[in-house]
Amino acid sequence: MFTMKLRKATVAIATGLTLSLVLTACGGGSGSGDDSGNKITIGIKFDQPGVGLKTSDGKYTGFDVDVATYIAKELGHKAEDIIWKQAPSAERETLIRNGDVKFVAASYTINDKRKAEVSFAGPYLMAHQDLLVRADETSITKAEDLNDKKLCSVSGSTSAQNVKDRLAPKADLQQVGGYSECLTGLENKAYDALTTDNSILAGFAAQKEHQGKFKLVGLSLSDEPYGIGLKKGDTELQGKINKALEKMQKDGAWEQAIKANFGPANYKNDPAPPITETS
């Protein structure tokens, strides 16, 4: 009786092991390439039309989204593999350091301070600080024209402070919680101009409800090279992303994404910048 029970137990264990091996061979595990193992998490902005925006129906649009999707594809991920994670400006380095994202594409200007904490690939876009005014505005053609005029930007904006400190010290700077408030005030003539990166301004101006109401002045008050942020020292990923960006420029997808996201605002973009972040 004991021998029979032992034999049954041995058969049960062997059957279980065989079934386990079959399931693993059929993709039942979590290895790379299946539904769980091939996901990639990417940090973007959720509140910048034309750049990175989560729409009311849960979709993600914008130039940064298009660039990130292209990079993900070159890294072996389909669009449906991407998990989009909100990356507010103040949290980008933390998200990268903690491994919460594979990389960040979020109007992320490359500078020495940030490079002390993270690495970058790119740049993939050269933005410039500019001014957005009403379409019929003719008295503002340069930064100095903002003296004694009402300038709007978001709280803590370095762009607004740049104008206030260096370019138009007598500007009446109004800082609010979000760019949408600035746009409403600009349309209602509560403000005379809005300032931030031209790519962000173009994205807002290109929205269907804003088309024809605003225009970019066309100034280059600063250089803002946008890069892909990644974990410090990850030269392997940096090299792969740089190759993807170069391919995107060469096959026309970069220019197509520019026109699709910024075209309605008559955004005069710089040519695709050369890749400089290589170590």
* Model confidence pLDDT, tens digit, residues 69-121: 999 999 999 999 999 999 998 899 999 999 999 999 999 999 999 999 999 99
SS3 214: strand
| Confidence grade of residue 266 (pLDDT, cut at 50, 70, 90) | confident
Q: What is the pLDDT of residue 26?
A: 38
Q: What's the CATH architecture for 40-127+225-265? A: 3-Layer(aba) Sandwich (3.40)
Q: Given its phi and psi angles, is residue 76 left (phi above 0), alpha (psi -120 to 50 degrees) or beta?
A: left
Residues sharing a CB contact under 8 Å with residue 139, sequence separation 6 or more, in sequence order: 145
pLDDT at position 227 over 90 = yes
Q: What is the pLDDT of residue 186?
A: 96
Q: Given its phi and psi angles, is residue 195 left (phi above 0), alpha (psi -120 to 50 degrees) or beta?
A: beta
Q: Which two tokens stand for residue 242?
A: 């740089």
Q: What distance in Å separates the CA atoms of residue 171 and residue 152, rounded to the nearest whole number?
A: 10
Intervals of CATH 3.40.190.10 along the chain:
40-127+225-265, 128-216
Helices assigned H by DSSP within 36-157: 63-74, 92-97, 112-115
CB 262 within 8 A of CB 143: no
| Confidence grade of residue 37 (pLDDT, cut at 50, 70, 90) | confident
pLDDT at position 235 over 90 = yes
Q: How do residues 132-182 score in pLDDT, each as one tens digit? A: 999 999 999 999 999 999 999 987 677 888 888 899 999 999 998 888 899
CATH no., domain 128-216: 3.40.190.10
Model pTM?
Answer: 0.80
| Confidence grade of residue 23 (pLDDT, cut at 50, 70, 90) | very low
Query: Could you give phi then psi for residue 172, rounded to 5 degrees?
Result: -85, 90
